[in-house]
């Protein structure tokens, strides 16, 4: 049986190289590519056509958009989102974009292999500790007082930089996207948070975080 081709996309060189070396040692896998940004993910998917891609979410470029583009062109490819974020909305957004699974960084190589095998068998894999949180969140009706707003990974990144007082141009440079893309996300944020401008976006997010903190 031919080994399964796999590629790793992560902007942390040591982590990426470590994963490559670990999976290179397994007879059932052959590593065909490695990259450090969303653009690399799309390029490797198109040029190498790996059967499995492990994609970091919080890296330069729009990882969710990359996952969606890859899924559209390669319906059968197994895509595992690999992230340090244990936020339920980040996991849900990844799965909605087209990922077959969501594995938290800090998991073992065995956990990652389990996720790959499960996904190749048609199942959706989520790190168990996060899966429990997702089930609880999905069973809990959205709070009207919290606005029911659920931000994507990229929207959350834009908000965090906005809260530091960064301009659209600076945010674009930080995230390695175009200024037009940042303006697009700003429009989405204003719609989701019922805000009229950048200041109201920041105030709305701070209010939501305070309400969440008070409940916990």
- pLDDT score, position 144: 35
Q: Is 176's pLDDT higher than 70? A: yes
- pLDDT score, position 136: 66
Q: Is 38's pLDDT higher than 50? A: yes
Q: What's the whole-model pTM score?
A: 0.68
CA distance 94 to 89: 8
Domains by residue range for the chain, with CATH: 4-138 (3.40.50.2300), 144-215 (1.10.10.10)
- pLDDT score, position 215: 52
- pLDDT score, position 74: 92
Q: Is 54's pLDDT higher than 80? A: yes
Tens of pLDDT, residues 75-121: 899 999 999 998 888 888 888 888 999 999 989 999 999 999 989 98
Angle at 80 between CA 78 and CA 83, to 5 degrees: 170
CA distance 15 to 5: 19
CA proximity to 64, closest of 92, 106, 97? 97
Tens of pLDDT, residues 141-153: 444 333 456 777 7
Better pLDDT: 179 or 4: 4
Q: For the chain, what percent of residues have pLDDT higher than 90?
A: 44
- Which pair of tokens denotes residue 191? 């719609």
Better pLDDT: 55 or 146: 55
């Amino acid at each position: 049986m031919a080994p399964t081709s796999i590629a790793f996309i992560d902007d942390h060189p040591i982590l990426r190289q470590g994963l490559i070396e670990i999976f290179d040692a397994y007879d059932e896998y052959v590593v065909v590519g490695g990259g450090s940004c969303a653009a690399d993910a799309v390029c490797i998917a198109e040029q190498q056509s790996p059967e499995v891609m492990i994609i970091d979410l919080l890296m330069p470029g729009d990882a969710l958009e990359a996952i969606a583009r890859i899924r559209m062109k390669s319906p059968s490819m197994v895509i595992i989102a690999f992230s340090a974020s244990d936020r339920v909305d980040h996991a849900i957004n990844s799965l909605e974009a087209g990922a077959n699974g969501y594995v938290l960084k800090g998991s073992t190589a065995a956990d990652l292999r389990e996720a790959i095998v499960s996904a190749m068998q048609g199942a959706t894999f989520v790190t168990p500790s996060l899966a429990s949180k997702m089930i609880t969140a999905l069973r809990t009706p959205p709070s009207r007082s919290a606005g029911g707003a659920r931000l994507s990974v990229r929207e959350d990144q834009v908000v965090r930089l906005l809260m530091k007082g960064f301009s659209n141009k600076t945010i674009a440079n930080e995230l390695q996207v175009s200024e037009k893309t940042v303006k697009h996300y700003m429009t989405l944020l204003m719609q989701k948070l019922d805000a009229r401008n950048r200041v109201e976006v920041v105030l709305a997010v701070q209010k939501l975080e305070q309400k969440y903190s008070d409940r916990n």
